[in-house]
Amino acid sequence: MIYLVNCDKLKFFKTFNSLENVIDYLKNKNKTEFDGLNFMLFGRGQKEVLINEKTEYIDSEYYIDSVVLSPKQNPNEYFTFFIRCIDSKGNRIELD
């Protein structure tokens, strides 16, 4: 499997061979280029839909994992690093 990480605001794109390598890389990047504070993985995105005339949130069509980091200079700004996983056939795989 291949893990793809991108951050649109930074025009960043990199591949990894394991989720552990992704997290290690982002931990290092956080310490050297960002605020160094603890961060967490964010999981499945949700969308708002109308069901029986009532607004509800349901899971999006695909799994989104991401890490959000803030720069040292401006802690109110943030950069989202999206993580995707694909198998050897190019199919997207959900991360556990």
Label residues 11-50 b or e (16+ Cβ within 10 Å = b).
eeeeebeebeebbeebeebbeeebbeeebeeeeeeeeeee
Domain count, the chain: 1
Provide the domain limits for residue 76.
Answer: 2-89
pLDDT value of residue 61: 59
pTM: 0.73
User: Which pLDDT value is given to residue 85?
Assistant: 87
Walk along the chain (96 residues) in steps of 10 and give the mean pLDDT of each run: 92 93 95 91 74 80 78 87 88 73
In a domain, 38, yes or no: yes
pLDDT at 30: 95
94 lies in some domain: no
